[in-house]
Structure 1
Amino acid sequence: MSQYKLEGEFSNINERQLEFINEVILQQNLQVDKVIFGPLGKAGDNFMSDVKRISVEGAHGSLKMIVKVASDLEAVRSATGTELLFTNEHVMYTEVLPKLLSLQKAAGVPKKEHLRYAKCYGSLNEAPNEVIILEDLNESNFKMLNKFEPLSEECIRIILKNFGIFHSLSYALKHKEPATYHLFSSKLKDTWDVRVNDPNVGLQFELLLKMVLPLLDNDTQKNIVKDKLSNVVQAVLNLSEDKNSGISVIHQGDAWTNNFMFRFEEGDLRESVMVDYQASSSHNPMTDILFMIYICTDHEARSQNLHDWLDYYHSELDKSLSHFGLKANDIYSRDQLNADLKRYGKLLFATTVLFNNVLMRDASEVTAMMEALKIGGFDGVMENMDKHAMSKETFDRSKKRLLDLIETYTQYDLL
């Protein structure tokens, strides 16, 4: 297939995927000598795809790229919705993000406010051989931060600024080209639309409740969590029309720590970039903002800053909309944002608990979960977590996150 040497670990990449990767590499005109496949991060940094860094070395230069490869194992594909996730990301990188950036350029938005995303070198949306090849942002001095630690105030604010820009461009697109927005939203599929039709989803949340109750200290806390983890499917259905409303945007959909990269200069934060769009679909903007706040910060920070953060997001939304002659209060008012803080309380509590139950686990625990996924799908993962006790470090992290969430909901009257 290739006329150069392949090195490193690529045994889990099938022939069709390697063929596509080779096509993209040859398009870079580097007169390639060898390509080295290496791991990206550690177990637990990426869940829905196998992510590798490839180093391309040639007579005309070198290049590093990030390769996201879909599993062709049916148990994994079925459990994680692989085809849906890779299709979403394919549409985002090849259609949506370039279109949103073109809107900014046409409106004369200053370059420093342009939507930044990783360059897409190529995307193969061919089940079960999906591959997405992206710019390696490490080469531009971006880095991921520790998922076990709350993000700093400056990191939260730069993410909120980016979300203000990102969400504003959906509104601008709706205003200028409503048919294009409708086309994009029809192509992007909400992962919850699949889950609510899964007859086992209720049992999965019952098992989740069984796993997290030992983290709690008293009956008051336990009753709160029992209430928030019950009837989650109905909560999803109650909010399902939001995705078709005037306030909906194309959301990122999975705003946890490892889906952001940050660039610092001499200790000062300069830039942040979102790096995953597999869960993107048309939805209420608060699904991004509140999930990010609940999953990436602790109660101490939220208790002092929650409404200031929401004010800042809304002001950045308005600032970006002004380039298109639009105003935030005419589209998504601050009062509506406050109402959505409460309306989305149950769903985002349940989602945050579900994610933290996975994200707070260490590398060895995640490795065991991934093996269980390959054998038994999502039910296998839940069974694995139920049978194997958390390490003390995982227990302590998970308990802190859950108690913090309860405190935040109590303080802001969201229960």
Structure 2
Amino acid sequence: MTEFEFDSHMSDLSVEQRELIANVFKEHEFKDIKIKVQPVGSEGDNFGANVKRIIGEKDDKTFKIIAKIAPKTEMLRVMANTVIFFKNEHVMYTEVLPKFTELEKAANIPKEERLRYATCYGTYLEAPNEMILLEDLEVPGYKMLDKVTSLSDEAVKLVLKNFAMLHSLSYALKYEQRETFEKFCQRLVNTWVLMAGVPEMIDYFEKLEVDVQTLIDDDKYKNAIKNTIGQVILRASELAKTYSSSKFSVIQQGDSWTNNIMFRLEDDRAVECCMIDYQLSKRSSPVADLHCLIFNCTDYATRAKHFYDWIDYYYLQLDKRLAKFELKTEEVYPRYQLEADLKLFAKFSLGHAIVMAGLVFREAGNATELKKAMNNDDPNKYMDGMIEQTKLSTSDPATIKKFKTRLEELVDSFIEFGYINASKIV
């Protein structure tokens, strides 16, 4: 038997990818084995990468890792910013997060109180074979929750506490090692800014809004979402400029929806969480992470009951974590700035949440067709396929009903929290 035998499901891996995987297993004393693979998630969960669970067994021992593998279709790679996504995550896992751990150790923060993230076993960045190998968090008992079900109050608070850790470490790095912080920020690319320079992407979101508008009957909701989806890229680009030089900026996680968070449960209650995706990490406001979590991962009833408590809880946790670095919250990120940012990011967040709702409620069959469209290398057919497959108006009635309910609940929340005015929104 050769040192390693890969099963047939890994036949499309490059020599370099196989070597990286083999080296990881060697380092963990797994040799002369057959390496097996299992898919991770279901259709519609992973469009920007092919995620696999890689398994090695020897005697009575098992070693598992997660491989995030870049798509090879050229058009998909261009439109999905594959090169940038994998570089961003490489920077986060190999430089930023380890640096944050150094800061925690220097501040004598106990291991059990530090920011939890998956161990990175290796990365490969040569296009088109990018790959990132990570700890399989299911081994220590973490699991992914249902993306269409609202996170509980307890689960939201766990993520907010994680954000307080992440953001406080950003501030600590900024105040202690400003040059290092700036270097990281420069290397983390804001893909929204890149999309703002691609007319086809702006056209795509404008057409998506036209389609969504056909589903809405009530003028209240029509007015509220006017120019939200269509201008989501431009608003994101404007916010990026605002925060590129802001003293309140942090390195944010950037994509905190349910499929990018894993929870450890005890008696069906979430007791720990860990973020698992840093491809959209960039310099921004702390509020960008809060908005993304709250408006993409919870329903109206849960938000209505807990929203203000969540904001207070986050700020309290941020205060506690900053104190460990001898920083004062009222100087680093004053409460008035938090409140101002909650309003500043509102229009973008509403548009983004509506787009995400369309992805979350897309039925599995449509997700399969979307993947086919995304793997088309003809530029015109690619965009036509994307527009056709992401249209909500052609979905089945049950999907449309769920989407409309989510949209109306989002608008109601934004209005009730004072972040938009349905009669004046433009």
TM over 0.5: yes
**1:226-248: CA deviation from partner (whole Å, max 9, x where unpaired):** 13234444423432231331111
Deviation at 1:359, TM superposition (A): 2.0
Q: 1:396 is matched with which residue: 389, 398, 401? A: 401
Please give the alpha-carbon distance, in whole angstroms, between the structure 1 residues aligned to 2:2 and 2:306: 54
Residue 53 (structure 1) shift: 0.3
The answer to whether residue 170 in structure 2 is matched with residue 176 in structure 1 is no
> Letter of the aligned partner of 2:187 in structure 1?
K
Matches within 5 A, 1:313-328: 313-328=314-329
Please name the residue that 2:303 is paired with.
302
Match of 1:386? 391
Shift of 1:302: 1.4
CA deviation digits over 1:136-175, x for unaligned, max 9? 1101110000001111110001000110011100000001
CA, structure 1 residues 378+122, in 2 after alignment: closer, same or farther (shift >3 Å)? farther
Q: How does 1:280-291 map to 2 (within 5 A)?
A: 280-291=281-292
Equivalent position of 2:80 in the other structure: 80
**Compared CA separation, residues 314 and 32, structure 1 to 2 (3 A):** farther
C-alpha spacing 1:225/1:186, structure 2 compared with 1 (3 Å) = same
1:413 maps onto 2:414 in alignment: no
Residue identity opposite 1:20 in structure 2: L
Check the 8 A contact 1:141/1:263 in 2, yes or no. yes
More deviation in 51-60 or 231-240?
231-240
Q: Distance in 2 between matches of 1:102 and 1:379?
A: 48
Q: 1:215 is paired with a residue of what secondary structure?
A: coil
Q: Deviations over 1:60-83 (max 9, x none)?
A: 832011000001210110110000
Query: Residues 147, 2 of structure 1: CA spacing in aligned structure 2 closer, same or farther, 3 A cutoff?
Result: farther
Q: What code does the residue aligned with 1:38 have?
A: Q
Match of 1:157 in 2: 157
8 Å CA contact retained: 2:212, 2:392: no
> Any conservation in 1 of the 2:263–2:270 contact (CA below 8 Å)?
yes
CA pair 11-244 structure 1, distance change in 2 beyond 3 A:
farther
1:78-98 Cα deviation digits (max 9, x unpaired): 110000000000011111101
Compare 347-356 and 168-177 and name the one that shifted more. 347-356
Q: Distance in 2 between matches of 1:366 and 1:322?
A: 46
Asked if the contact 2:207/2:230 (under 8 Å) is kept, the reply is: no
Shift of 1:2: 5.9
* CA shift for structure 1 position 8: 4.8
Distance in 1, Cα, partners of 2:148 & 2:375: 25
TM-score by length of 1: 0.95
TM-score normalised according to structure 2 size: 0.93
Question: Does the CA contact (< 8 Å) of 2:229 and 2:355 recur in 1?
Answer: no
Whether 2:61 is the aligned partner of 1:61: answer yes
For residues 124-163 of structure 1, the aligned pairs below 5 Å read 124-163=124-163
Q: How does 1:370-381 map to 2 (within 5 A)?
A: 370-375=371-376, 376-381=381-386
Question: What is the one-letter code of the residue matched to 1:26?
Answer: K
Q: Distance in 2 between matches of 1:8 and 1:161?
A: 42
- Separation in 1 of the partners of 2:2 and 2:193? 41
Moved more, 227-236 or 62-71: 227-236
Give the superposition deviation at 1:301: 1.5
Given that residues 215 and 398 in structure 1 are in contact (C-alpha distance below 8 angstroms), is that contact kept between their aligned partners in structure 2?
Answer: no
- Deviation at 1:50? 0.3
CA contact (8 A) 1:32 1:59 kept: no
For the 8 Å contact 1:369–1:385, the answer to whether it is kept is: yes
SS of structure 2 residue aligned to 1:273: strand
SS of residue in 2 equivalent to 1:127: coil
Post-superposition CA distance 1:106-127 (Å, at most 9, x none): 1011222201001111111222
Q: Distance in 1 between matches of 2:333 and 2:94?
A: 28
Question: Structure 1, residues 339-398: CA drift from partner, whole Å, max 9, x if none?
Answer: 111111111111111222112212221111111011144553122233971123321221
Partner of 1:266: 267
1:362 matched residue in structure 2: 363
SS of the residue corresponding to residue 405 of structure 1 reads helix
Question: Counterpart of 2:110?
Answer: 110
The equivalent of 1:242 in structure 2 is 243
- Size of the alignment, in residue pairs? 415
Question: Which residue in 1 is equivalent to 2:424?
Answer: none
8 Å contact from structure 1 (residues 80, 378) kept in 2: no
* Structure 2 spans left out of the alignment, 5+ residues: 421-426
**CA displacement, residues 288-341 of structure 1 (integer Å, 9 cap, x when unaligned):** 101110000111121222121111111111110110000211111111111111
CA contact (8 A) 1:148 1:397 kept: no
Structure 2 CA distance for aligned equivalents of residues 227 and 91 of structure 1: 34
Rounded Cα–Cα distance in structure 2 between residues aligned with 1:304 and 1:387: 29
RMSD across aligned positions (CA): 1.8
The amino acid across from 1:226 in the alignment is K
Residue 228 of structure 2 is matched in structure 1 by 228
Identity score, percent: 39
